[in-house]
Structure 1
Amino acid sequence: MDVDEQSQCVSKIIFELNELGKLEFPAYGSLYFANTSYVTGAELPSNPGYCIGPHCGGPWPNLSTYCDSLIDLGISRVPPPHLITKHPHWQEFHGSPTEHYDLLSQGRALLKAMARHPSLQDTAKPSLFHPCLHTDNIFVSENTPTTVTAIIDWQACSIEPAFHYADISPDFAQPRPHVQPERELSFKRDECGIRFDLGLIVFFGPMFKARRMDTAYLTPFRYCHRTWKDGFIRFRNEIIQTARRWGELGFEGACPVALLSEAECAKHMEEYKTFEEIQEWKESIDVALNVGEDGRVPAEAYEKMQALHLELLEYSVKHMFEGEGIDRDTQVQNYEFLKEVWPFDLPSGYKEELRRE
């Protein structure tokens, strides 16, 4: 398809989804048939035959209880200490269970106070949207490619605050590198991205409004339940930055989280800088391999991707383990670090001669 056909197709995609923007829901959760035996929710007044039931808990009638659910989810992902088999050095980078529990306790108080802000209330409408809207999930007619015939992969959709979807950025709405500069608008979005945003304005107002908010209002909600996956440093940084900007962002009353001392803040920023460098490094590996964070690749490309994976691994190892002044103790330390931060499984037995005794 040429650019004009692609932009028409994006308009059709949004039009296919526009009915979702009209739906009114009384709570956050998942959609069920009203006669589901294990769900006790009342039928939706505007959509008899359906009700809202649990989605990893819930349903939640308001934003405050929804905030509790995010923190509870984060807590549920922290394993008991006796099940953690990583080397102790890993906890210095990732955080101990106790550090996660303490951080999430602070996060609960922060999120519930933030939830009272008018901007968040205005963008918290219980909304249903496709959680993975990209070209692999969209089918078009072979004869008329601007005709959308199906949108698949709905099994993970749920009813969330509209701001939950603010960072959705489908691949078809991303700026394309082949578009000539003279066809780009001043804010560097191509036709497909503009069509997507226009569709959100018309059919999904609260979601579009959230996309234009200062991200400081949204990122604590985005990362609070991921602390065990990401490491506690990312969410800790969101808490610190929100506390620092509490008055500037228009939150009422005192921030429920105390500000760090100058020395504590400097130490955190040093650790966060290292964290960001590691994340950028991981992302560069994902980009080089053209895979997502789960490492999934098409079966026909597996051997090629595995060979490239090993090539990248060897390149990293060469810089970490070889060269003047790198003694065995440093090699062992680097090996432990590599195991902790490498985004995919290392080959069985890889560099085990360097394992820490």
Structure 2
Amino acid sequence: MASLDFPAYGNIYFTDARIEDASLKIPLEDGFCIGPYCSPLFWNCGAGEPELYGRPSSNRGPWKTLSGYASRLIDTAFTRLPNEQVSARDRRPFRGSVEDHKRLLKICHKTMQMLTQDDRVQKAALPTLIHADYNKRNIYVSPNDPTVITGLIDWQLSCIESAFIYSQNTPDFAALPDIDPSEEDEDGTPKGRDEERLLKDLSICHQTYDVMATYKCRKLRPSRQLDSSLFRLFHYCFTSWRDGASAIRQELIDLRTLWPKLKLPGSECPYSPTKQELAEHAGQFEDFETMQKLKMWLKISMQTTSDGWVPNEVWDVAQEANRAAYDEWIETAKESEKKGRRRYDRRESW
């Protein structure tokens, strides 16, 4: 699939699909065409985000150019900003104000448009179709020979995307394990011979997948050989409100640092923060990283994925871990409140 060529970004439809606007059908071949995206990204109907339901981006493709695709990502980001009074939960310091997000998204748009003019980015953005969730739970194998794949499920998020959207994804069977920082030795290696042996085995799987994805998939190769900072705005600009202004601001700061080194289009990065902004950002980004550490700790404790998926065989254990984490979190919050502390430890609560 990764070797197929496509004339645009979008989803594949039958030629006679009931798409009202015929201009949204880009001919493919053999009775098929490329039409608007079906991804929740452009429909704002992802699980866990009910406040966004019914607020889709006005333009869901398809797009023949990377520039058009990038513009619609920014449009989607704007549709995810609250248009009503912001709740207390959404006033966390690292979240930033709605005005902060509007300003940063405009800078993101200008920056992304400049990036799309770079030949290296263009080569790394070829329209590509592969499985979007290629993890163990979606792969069926023969009960007699587990090396024989008999089927793949969960195709609903697969779209014709820019190659760099797929290139940084590593399936769980080839990913290095998440390690709880509290269980590491001083040199950063996990304790115990069993853990070291497991890490070595997984490292072999990781390296093998990396070689295959880089050198066997010609479309993925350009982006895998470039600095990932070039593409992170395309990955995360539309989640700016969910992740917080400090997260997208850090991406811009990283890109600004790399701009001269990578000889990107234009004399300099469009983002030019003031000293005061950088000073405020330092504290806000620390809060954001604390939240990410909390999420990582929860994933490890409950043996779950970032989307909350838990295998049947560890469900009971995960429920117990969830209850224990919740109880500990509440106690930590109570103790910290008594001491008048604003920040807690890695189980930080606002």
- The question of 1:76 aligning with 2:60 is answered no
Q: Which residue of 1 aligns with 2:142?
A: 141
Q: Secondary structure at the match of 1:241?
A: helix
Instruction: Please report the TM-score for the alignment, with normalisation by the length of structure 1.
Output: 0.77
Deviations 1:160-202 (A, max 9, x none): 11011122101111347969769959xx830x33442343245
- Matched residue type, 2:220: M
Q: Which residue of 2 aligns with 1:274?
A: 287
Q: Which residue of 1 aligns with 2:10?
A: 29
Residue correspondence of structure 1 range 1-357 to structure 2 within 5 A: 20-38=1-19, 40=22, 41-44=25-28, 47-55=29-37, 56=42, 57-82=60-85, 84-87=86-89, 90-175=91-176, 189-190=203-204, 192-255=205-268, 257-297=270-310, 302=315, 304-322=317-335, 326-327=338-339, 330=340, 340=350
Relative to 1, partners in 2 of residues 1:61 and 1:240: Cα closer, same or farther, differing over 3 Å?
same
- Matched residue type, 1:119: R
Relative to 1, partners in 2 of residues 1:194 and 1:245: Cα closer, same or farther, differing over 3 Å?
closer
- Matched residue type, 2:203: R
Instruction: Please report the TM-score for the alignment, with normalisation by the length of structure 2.
Output: 0.79
Deviations 1:260-309 (A, max 9, x none): 23343232123212211221122111211112334343567555433321
Count residues in correspondence. 309
What is the distance in 2 between the residues matched to 1:281 and 1:79? 25
Relative to 1, partners in 2 of residues 1:303 and 1:136: Cα closer, same or farther, differing over 3 Å?
closer
What is the distance in 2 between the residues matched to 1:25 and 1:282? 37
What is the distance in 2 between the residues matched to 1:180 and 1:317? 34
Gaps of 5+ in 1: 1-19, 341-357
Gaps of 5+ in 2: 43-59, 178-192
- Matched residue type, 1:26: P
What is the distance in 1 between the residues matched to 2:15 and 2:194? 49
What's the CA shift for 1:67?
0.7
Q: Secondary structure at the match of 2:288?
A: helix
Relative to 1, partners in 2 of residues 1:42 and 1:28: Cα closer, same or farther, differing over 3 Å?
closer
- Matched residue type, 1:248: K
Do the aligned residues in 2 keep the contact of 1:28 with 1:159 (CA within 8 Å)? yes
Relative to 1, partners in 2 of residues 1:183 and 1:229: Cα closer, same or farther, differing over 3 Å?
closer
- Matched residue type, 1:75: F
Do the aligned residues in 1 keep the contact of 2:74 with 2:238 (CA within 8 Å)? yes
Of 283-292 and 128-137, deviating more is: 283-292
Q: Secondary structure at the match of 1:210?
A: helix
Q: Secondary structure at the match of 1:236?
A: helix
What is the distance in 1 between the residues matched to 2:323 and 2:199? 40
Q: Secondary structure at the match of 2:294?
A: helix
Of 202-211 and 93-102, deviating more is: 202-211
Do the aligned residues in 2 keep the contact of 1:34 with 1:42 (CA within 8 Å)? no
What is the distance in 2 between the residues matched to 1:194 and 1:303? 33
What is the distance in 1 between the residues matched to 2:198 and 2:134? 29
What's the CA shift for 1:320?
3.1
What is the distance in 2 between the residues matched to 1:170 and 1:87? 33
What's the CA shift for 1:242?
1.3
Relative to 1, partners in 2 of residues 1:265 and 1:182: Cα closer, same or farther, differing over 3 Å?
closer
Deviations 1:291-339 (A, max 9, x none): 233434356755543332121122233333227x935xx38997xx966
Of 310-319 and 63-72, deviating more is: 310-319
Q: Secondary structure at the match of 2:19?
A: coil
Q: Secondary structure at the match of 1:206?
A: coil
Q: Which residue of 1 aligns with 2:50?
A: none
What is the distance in 2 between the residues matched to 1:287 and 1:312? 11
Identity between Structure 1 and Structure 2 (%)? 28
What is the distance in 1 between the residues matched to 2:172 and 2:100? 36
What is the distance in 2 between the residues matched to 1:146 and 1:164? 28
Deviations 1:217-265 (A, max 9, x none): 1212211111121111111111122123321121122335242233432
What is the distance in 1 between the residues matched to 2:343 and 2:247? 23
What is the distance in 2 between the residues matched to 1:264 and 1:165? 33
- Matched residue type, 1:51: C
What is the distance in 2 between the residues matched to 1:169 and 1:111? 24
Tell which structure's C-alpha radius of gyration is larger: 1
Relative to 1, partners in 2 of residues 1:74 and 1:326: Cα closer, same or farther, differing over 3 Å?
same
